[in-house]
Amino acid sequence: MFAESRPRCLTGSAAYLGALYVLILVVTSERSGEDVDIILARLKNVKAFERFHPSLLQQICLCGFYECLEKGITLYRQGDIGTSWYAVLSGSLDVKVSETSSHQDAVTICTLGAGTAFGESILDNTPRHATIVTREFSELLRIEQRAFRSLWEKYHQYMAELLAPPYGVMESGCSADSKAHIICICSRILPISRLRFSLTPILQVPSERILRAGKILRNAILSRAPHMIRDRKYHLKTYRQCCVGTELVDWQMQQSSCVHSRIQAVGMWQVLLEEGVLNHVDQELSFQDKYLFYRFLDDEQEDAPFPSEEERRESQEELQDTLLLLSQIGPDAHMRMILRKHPSERTADDLEIIYEELLHIKALSHLSTTVKRELAGVLIFESHAKAGTVLFNQGEEGTSWYIILKGSVNVVICGKGVVCTLHEGDDFGKLALVNDAPRAASIEDFNRILRDVEANTVRLKEHGQDVLVLEKSLSSSRTSMHGASSYKVMSGTPEKILEHLLEMMRLDSQFTESGSALDDFLLTHCVFIPNSQLCPVLLTQYPSSTGSEQEKLDYTLHNKRRVIRLVMQWAAIHGDHLQEEDVSMTFLETFLMAVSNDAKLIQALRDQLTELERLVKCKYVGHKVLLRQFSMGDEKLQKRQPIKSKDEILFKVYCCDHTYTTIRVPVAASVREVIGAVADKLVSAEDLILVNLSSAGEKVVFKPNDVSVFSTLSTNGRLFVCRRDQLDSLTPLPEQEGPSTGSLATFEVMSSKDVAYHMTSFDWELFHCVHELELIYHTFGKQNVKKTTVNLDLFLRRFNEIQFWVVTEMCLCSQLNKRVQLLKKFIKVAAHCKEYRNMNAFFAIIMGLSNPAVSRLSQTWEKLPSKFKRFYSEFENLMDPSRNHRAYRLTFAKLEPPIIPFMPLLIKDMTFTHEGNKTFIDNLVNFEKMRMIANTLKIVRYCRSQTFGSDSPLANKNHPEVRTYVRQLHVIDNQRTLTQLSHGLEPRRS
C-alpha cells in the first residue's frame, strides 16, 4: 500500500497532539490566526521542530497536513518523483535502498525516528533515492511541494542548517557503483573507537556573543574585585594579569542564583576557554577548579585597558544576562571537555557525568547499565565544524560507532543525492562493528566491553535453562570486607531473584547493595509477579522448624528472621494497598499466626513478632466507605487524604440534552460498571458509550475495561453517556466554558508570599497522597496491573489547573497597566514557590506565562521592568529541556526535603526507562530495568522524607481567604478561547 499517491490528509487518533490534528486537517486557506497559534503551541513541544526558527515554524503551521500510517505502509518507493516533504511526529520508518532499484532486494540502511525529517529531493524534482516504509504506527506532518519550495525560497537561511544542502554541491563524477558516504554538518559526535583522540581547539576565532560575554565578565571583575586580575609569580616565573581558576569559580557562584554548583561554573568558564576568550597560560584546553592561571583575551595585550565608566555601567547591566547565557551553554562545553580527556585521565565524577548522559541517548537504550558505564570510559569526542566533511566511505574497515550529540549527518549515495538525514540522538556505524562486515577491523574497545561483561557474568541454570543471571563486581571497602567480589542481579525468574536476595540479606542495620536490591524488588514486583503469586512464594520461603541439631536450628532461625524482615519491609512499602486485596490480607493473617506459633518456642523471634503485630494491626484495620466528589466545592477545603480503590464516589454523568444522573460507584470502577450504574437509572442500556468531553468539544470514548476514569478528566472536562450514533451531537455544558471575568480584584490584594505558601500547602497535601507505586501503575498501564492511579491523576491535574489559571487571569485582564502588574505578580509567586521548593507549581506558573496566548502579548511584556524580565529569563533557563533538563536537575540536586518535584519529568523518566528497556529478556525478569524504575521512585521517597508543616517560614498562614482562593481556582482550559481573548487584548500587528 502506498501513501504518497494520496493527495489528502488522513484522519486518525488524536491522542498524540490532541486538538492540533483537528486543526491541521482543516484546509489551509480556512485556518484562522487563532488556529495557527494553537498549532504553533503544540508543535513547539514536538522534537521534530525544536531546531526550527519561530518564523519558519509559524509558516509550517499554515501549510502543513497530518498523516497517520499503520505499520508496514510504503510511503514512497525508490525512483518515484516526490510530491511532499515530511517530518516524523511519532513512530519510526525504515529507509531501504536497492542497487537494482527493485524493492525485492532493498536493504534497510537506517531508521528514521521521531524528530527526523526527509524528502528534500522535491526541491529539484529528482527521483526518490530510497524506499520509505513505516516500521510501526507513525504520525507525520506533510508539506506539499509547492508550499515547501515557497518556504525554501523565503526561509533559505534558516532551512539550510536543517535540511540537506542543494544537490548541485554534492560530489559528482562517481563510478557506476553507488558508494554511500556519511556527511557531517556542524556535528559533535561520540565515536567508540581505538583511542582516536585529538586536542585541537574547537574554534580559532571566537563568536561575537562569547567575545562580548568575556568582556562583560572581565569588566565586572575589575569593577567588583580588581585584585583577582594581577601579575602572579610561580616557580620564579611571573605571569602577567592572570586570574586563578578557583577564584573565578568562587566569584561566579557569588554573582547569580543561576549558578548552582562548582561543576556548573567550570562548564561556564570552559565556554570562554573553548573560544579563546579566556586562555590558560600554558594553553591547556580544559578549565580546572584549581590553582591554575588563566588570562582574559583583552589582558594578552601589554597595556590592557581598564574599563571606562560607560563599560562599568554596561557590565553592571548585562552581567546577569551574560551569566544566564553561559549557564545555558556551559553543560555542553563541560561534557566536551570531559570527552576530550584521554580515557585514562577521566575521574570518577567525569565517568558519572558521561554515564548520566548515556542514559538518555536512545541509540543506547537497549544496552545494560553495566555496558553503558563501561562505554563511559572509552567514548571520544569529535567535532566537525565544516559542512561536507566525509566521515567514512562504504567498504572501508569499520573502526567506530558514532552517536550524534548535536548537528546532523546526511547519508549520501553518489549520483543519487541524500538518502536520509540523521539528527541528535541517532547513531550509525554500529552494524559494521557488530557484524564484522567491511569497516569492521579495529573494534577492540567495543568487543572488549562485551567480552568483559560476559566474563563477569554468572549464570545459574536449572534443567538447562537460565534462571538467574548475576554480574560480578568488586565492592568498595565500605560495603565488603577486603574488597571481596560481590554479585549484582541482572535478570532471573522472580522466585530465584527473591531467593538470592534473601540469601544475601544482612540482619544488622548496615546498608548493603543487597538491601538496596531487595528494596527495588519490593517496589517493582507488581510488574512481574503480582501479590496473588508472590504471597504463596513468601510462605514457601518461611522454613518449618524441623530437626534437632543445633546447626540446623541456627540455619532455620536465620532464614525465618530474614523472611520476617522481608515481609515487614513489603508491608511497609505497600501500606494500604495491601488492604484492598483479599489474597494479601489472608497471607498476612496466616504469616502472623505462623510467626506467633514459632515465637512461643523461639525466644529470638519475639522482638520481631511484636514489630510485625504492630505493623499489621496499625495498617490493616477495617475498610471505611467514603463519599468523594472530584469537583469544585467545599470538598477541596478539607485536608486531603489518600483515596483508595474501594472508596466510593458520587458523580454526575451527563446526557446529550445536558440532563444528568448521579451515580455512586467505587473509585476503581470500570467503564463497563459505570455504564451499568447509569443504565439502571436511565432504564435503557443498549449500545451506551462513556465519553470524556472537554470544554473545547474534544471527545474521547473510553474503552469498557478502562478504570478510574473520573480522575482522568481535564480541569473542566465532564463525563457524558450516549449511544454511539449520538456521539457527534454532544456539546459542552455552559459551565465548562470557565469564568468570563478574572479574579484580579481579589488576587491583587493578596501577598505573593502568602499565595505561594497556601498553594504549596495544598500541593503538598495532594503530593503526599500519591503512593510511590502509582507511578508504576501509570507507566505500565493501570489496566495491566489492575490498579488505580487516582491520587497521581489528581496531582497531575493540579499542574494543568495552575497553568491555565495563569493564562486565564492574564487573558481576562483588559487594562494594559493592570496586566503588567499581574504579570509581575505571577513572576513573584513563582519565585516564592521556588523558595518553598514547590517545583511543580513553579513550573506550572512559568509554563502558563510561556503559553502562546500570554507570550504573544508583546505590549505587556515590553512594559515589564527589566528586573522582572531577568527573573523570568532565569526561570525559563531552569525549565530548559536541553540535555535532558540538566538545568533543573542541577538545581534539584541541591534541594533539601521537603520538596514537591516537577512530576511530569518524573513521569517522563519512568516512561523513557519503560519504553527503552524490555521487561523480560529471554523469559527472565530484566532486573536492571526494575532497578532504574525504583531509583525514580526513590526520588519521590526522598522528597517526602521531611514534612511540609506549619513551621515553614516566610509567610503569614492566617489568611483563610487566600487558602480558599488557591484551592478553588476557576480557569478556562480551552486554548482556542484563550487565544481569541489574547487577540482581543492585543490584536496582531500588521
Model confidence pLDDT, tens digit, residues 614-665: 777 765 444 445 555 455 455 556 778 888 888 888 889 999 999 999 898 8
Band of pLDDT at residue 417, cut at 50, 70 and 90: low
More reliable by pLDDT, 501 or 627 = 501
Band of pLDDT at residue 860, cut at 50, 70 and 90: very high
| Res 354: pLDDT | 82
| Res 383: pLDDT | 72
What DSSP letter does each residue of 833-873 carry, written as one string?
Answer: HHHTTBHHHHHHHHHHHTSHHHHT-HHHHHTS-HHHHHHHH
SS3 of 40-108: the string is HHHHCCCHHHCCCCHHHHHHHHHHCEEEEECCCCEEECCCCECCEEEEEEECEEEEEECCCCCHHHCEE
More reliable by pLDDT, 130 or 792 = 792
Average pLDDT, integer, range 552-565: 86
Q: Is the predicted pLDDT of residue 704 greater than 70, yes or no?
A: yes
More reliable by pLDDT, 981 or 156 = 981
Q: How far, in Å, are 190, 224, 376, 448, 749 from residue 379 at the CA level?
A: 6, 41, 6, 13, 57
892: Cβ contacts below 8 Å, ≥ 6 apart: 839, 899, 901, 902
CB 735 within 8 Å of CB 745: no
453-475+486-589 — its CATH code?
A: 1.20.870.10
Average pLDDT, integer, range 776-800: 86
Band of pLDDT at residue 603, cut at 50, 70 and 90: confident
Band of pLDDT at residue 450, cut at 50, 70 and 90: low
Q: Is the predicted pLDDT of residue 436 greater than 50, yes or no?
A: no
Band of pLDDT at residue 679, cut at 50, 70 and 90: confident
Average pLDDT of the chain to the nearest whole number: 80
| Res 162: pLDDT | 54
| Res 512: pLDDT | 55
- What letter does residue 696 receive in the DSSP assignment? T
Q: Where are the domains of the chain?
A: 13-158, 208-340, 453-475+486-589, 626-736, 747-898+946-985
Burial of 225 (0-12, 13-18, 19+ CB in 10 A): middle
In terms of CATH architecture, what is 208-340?
Orthogonal Bundle (1.10)
More reliable by pLDDT, 548 or 612 = 612
Model confidence pLDDT, tens digit, residues 1-23: 556 544 333 333 333 344 444 44
Q: How far, in Å, are 43, 340, 538 from residue 46 at the CA level?
A: 5, 32, 46
More reliable by pLDDT, 664 or 955 = 664
Band of pLDDT at residue 167, cut at 50, 70 and 90: very low
Band of pLDDT at residue 158, cut at 50, 70 and 90: low
Q: Is the predicted pLDDT of residue 465 greater than 70, yes or no?
A: yes
Is it true that domain 747-898+946-985 has CATH number 1.10.840.10?
Answer: yes
Domain 13-158 is in which class? mainly beta
More reliable by pLDDT, 111 or 362 = 111
Three cell numbers written together for 943? 522528597
- pLDDT cut 70: percent of the chain above it: 78
Q: Rounded to a whole number, what is the distance in angstroms from the first to the last CA of the chain?
A: 45
Q: Is the predicted pLDDT of residue 293 greater than 90, yes or no?
A: yes
CB 124 within 8 Å of CB 422: no
195: Cβ contacts below 8 Å, ≥ 6 apart: 342, 343, 380
Residue tagged 468539544 (cell numbers): 697
| Res 772: pLDDT | 93
Model confidence pLDDT, tens digit, residues 906-948: 999 999 889 888 899 889 999 999 999 999 999 999 999 999 8
More reliable by pLDDT, 550 or 584 = 584
In terms of CATH architecture, what is 626-736?
Roll (3.10)
Residue of 54, 71, 315, 92 whose CA lies nearest to 915: 92
Q: Which of 131-140, 255-264, 385-394, 721-730 has the lowest mean pLDDT?
A: 385-394
Tell me how far apart the alpha carbons of residues 96 and 85 are, in angstroms, rounded to a whole number: 17
| Res 64: pLDDT | 86
191: Cβ contacts below 8 Å, ≥ 6 apart: 379, 380, 382, 400, 401, 402, 429
| Res 442: pLDDT | 36
Q: Is the predicted pLDDT of residue 816 greater than 80, yes or no?
A: yes
Tell me how far apart the alpha carbons of residues 754 and 587 are, in angstroms, rounded to a whole number: 48
In Å, the largest CA–CA distance within the chain is 99
| Res 185: pLDDT | 33
CB 642 within 8 Å of CB 649: no
Q: Is the predicted pLDDT of residue 248 greater than 50, yes or no?
A: yes
Q: Is the predicted pLDDT of residue 759 greater than 80, yes or no?
A: yes
More reliable by pLDDT, 234 or 809 = 809
Q: How many Cα atoms are found within 13 Å in the side-chain-facing hemisphere of 193? A: 23
| Res 68: pLDDT | 85
Burial of 620 (0-12, 13-18, 19+ CB in 10 A): middle
Q: Which of 240-249, 383-392, 884-893 has the lowest mean pLDDT?
A: 383-392
Average pLDDT, integer, range 560-571: 91
Band of pLDDT at residue 762, cut at 50, 70 and 90: very high
Residue tagged 496566548 (cell numbers): 853
